[in-house]
């Protein structure tokens, strides 16, 4: 009788020892090891020993030399002698994150345009036609349809004439720029229980930054991290981001996000918050009030007050909660209700898709 024969799984790595495939693994490891090139290469060497990633024709030393020759890594001099990423490598990681998370997104022909529920004179043409109204731009007139209407209404020959009632114009969508603040939780819980939650968050931040730079160049994106305190980080800092021995001061993060958006002149403003834990910390003067056990009423009330302030400033907050505890979900529901924002309870695999969906949805409406 025929049956099944079981054996140890051996990955099919035939032909995998080329630069592009090894580079893909290398970029993943750079995010996991917070930009530590030496640690990433050490881990790749271990993978190579276990799974024979390379061959005699193209070994790890050849890959490392190619990384140097292509300008992705460079050696440092002085007391901190070692090896580090270059700006080219950082840019490549952003592009890879965009392709991985937002790969299905088609690039718009008109960068920086955002759909709205009303029509305007500037922006992308929708293809819809309507009758001419006083104040319409002459460039909006559809000449072919207008002449056709004139022919039907007045006929050809000496009686032919083009009047205002014959004119048809093409609708356009108003160009709306958006200012976004992305908040990333860097409290210790982001790496607790053997689950790496900070790496997916970094991928989302990199992908969003690359998306805005390439598709919506007139938009602004500020990125901040929050633990015991909150501070902004630059685009180049994201791959090196690490979790610290922090509690979760959500209030400090929201206050900084709102301060950043006050300085932006765009009408559309929004906050995206990626977190896996409850607020557990407040700063009072130079001291910290901390309580990691349950939901502290004092901390929760202050957090809800900030959510209400954001609502009054017409700033919706979208919370991406990487947790499944019922009492935490109840807190997020209360927080979302006060702000009139949205909340998603996402696992790590679905995080990027949820962010994309909401990010694009806000572009299709006028955030008020």
Distance CA 132, CA 275 (A): 50
Instruction: Answer yes or no: are the C-beta atoms of 173 and 119 closer than 8 Å.
Output: yes
**Is 298 in the same domain as 238?**
yes
**Is 78 in the same domain as 160?**
no
Angle made by CA atoms 19, 24, 25, in degrees to the nearest 5: 105
Distance CA 239, CA 201 (A): 11
pLDDT digits (tens, 9 = 90+) for 4-28: 565 665 555 444 568 999 999 999 9
Nearest CA to 89 out of 279, 269, 236 is that of: 236
**Is 293 in the same domain as 161?**
no
With respect to residue 7, please indicate whether it lies within any of the assigned structural domains: no
With respect to residue 199, please indicate whether it lies within any of the assigned structural domains: yes
Decide which of 112, 144, 172 is a domain's last residue: 172
Counting the structural domains of the chain, the total is: 3
**Is 199 in the same domain as 317?**
yes
Claim: this prediction has a pTM higher than 0.95: no
**Is 196 in the same domain as 343?**
yes
Domain that holds residue 158: 125-172
**Residue ranges of the chain with per-residue pLDDT less than 70:** 1-17, 78-81, 103-127, 135, 156-158, 172-175, 323-324, 346-354, 356-357, 359-368
Alpha helix stretches (DSSP H) within the chain: 19-32, 37-51, 60-69, 87-102, 143-154, 198-215, 250-262, 297-312, 326-339, 351-363
**Is 348 in the same domain as 208?**
yes
**Is 274 in the same domain as 342?**
yes
Tell the residue number behind the tokens 């319409």, with chain if given. 136
**Is 69 in the same domain as 135?**
no
CATH number assigned to the domain comprising residue 301 = 3.40.50.410
pLDDT digits (tens, 9 = 90+) for 290-339: 998 889 999 999 999 999 999 999 999 988 887 667 888 888 889 999 99
**Is 193 in the same domain as 155?**
no
CA-based end-to-end distance of the chain: 70
Mean pLDDT computed over every residue of the chain:
82
Decide which of 36, 61, 85 is a domain's last residue: 85
220 DSSP β-pair partners: 179
Instruction: Write down the pLDDT at residue 121.
Output: 40
**Is 168 in the same domain as 182?**
no
Question: How many CB atoms neighbour CB 255 within 10 A?
Answer: 17
**Is 219 in the same domain as 306?**
yes
**Is 158 in the same domain as 190?**
no
Distance CA 63, CA 59 (A): 7
């Amino acid at each position: 009788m025929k049956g099944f024969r079981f054996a140890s799984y051996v990955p099919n790595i035939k032909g995998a020892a080329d630069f592009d495939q090894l580079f893909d693994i290398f970029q993943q490891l750079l995010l996991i090891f917070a930009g530590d090139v030496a640690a990433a290469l050490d881990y790749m060497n271990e993978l190579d020993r276990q799974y024979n990633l390379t061959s005699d024709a193209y070994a790890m030393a050849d890959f490392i030399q190619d990384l140097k020759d292509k300008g992705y890594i460079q050696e440092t001099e002085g007391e901190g002698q070692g090896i580090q990423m270059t700006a080219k490598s950082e840019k490549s990681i952003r592009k890879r994150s965009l392709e991985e998370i937002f790969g299905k997104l088609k690039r718009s022909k008109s960068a920086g345009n955002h759909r709205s529920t009303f029509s305007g004179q500037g922006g992308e043409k929708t293809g819809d036609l309507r009758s001419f109204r006083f104040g319409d731009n002459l460039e909006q007139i559809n000449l072919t349809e207008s002449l056709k209407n004139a022919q039907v209404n007045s006929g050809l020959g000496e009686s032919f004439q083009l009047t205002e009632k014959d004119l048809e114009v093409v609708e356009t969508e108003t160009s709306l720029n958006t200012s976004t603040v992305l908040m990333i939780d860097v409290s210790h819980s982001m790496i607790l229980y053997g689950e790496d939650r900070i790496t997916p968050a970094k991928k989302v931040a990199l992908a969003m930054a690359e998306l805005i730079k390439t598709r919506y160049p007139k938009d602004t994106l500020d990125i901040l991290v929050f633990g015991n305190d909150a501070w902004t980080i630059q685009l180049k800092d994201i791959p090196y981001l690490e979790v610290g021995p922090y509690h979760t001061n959500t209030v400090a993060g929201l206050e900084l996000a709102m301060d950043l958006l006050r300085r932006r002149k765009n009408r559309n403003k929004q906050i995206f918050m990626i977190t896996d834990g409850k607020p557990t910390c407040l700063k009072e003067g130079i001291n910290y009030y901390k309580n990691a056990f349950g939901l502290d009423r004092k901390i929760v009330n202050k957090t809800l007050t900030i959510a209400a302030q954001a609502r009054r400033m017409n700033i919706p907050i979208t919370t991406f909660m990487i947790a499944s505890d019922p009492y935490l979900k109840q807190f997020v529901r209360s927080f979302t209700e006060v702000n009139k924002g949205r909340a998603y309870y996402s696992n790590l695999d679905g995080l990027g898709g949820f962010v994309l969906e909401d990010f694009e949805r806000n572009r299709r409406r006028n955030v008020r």
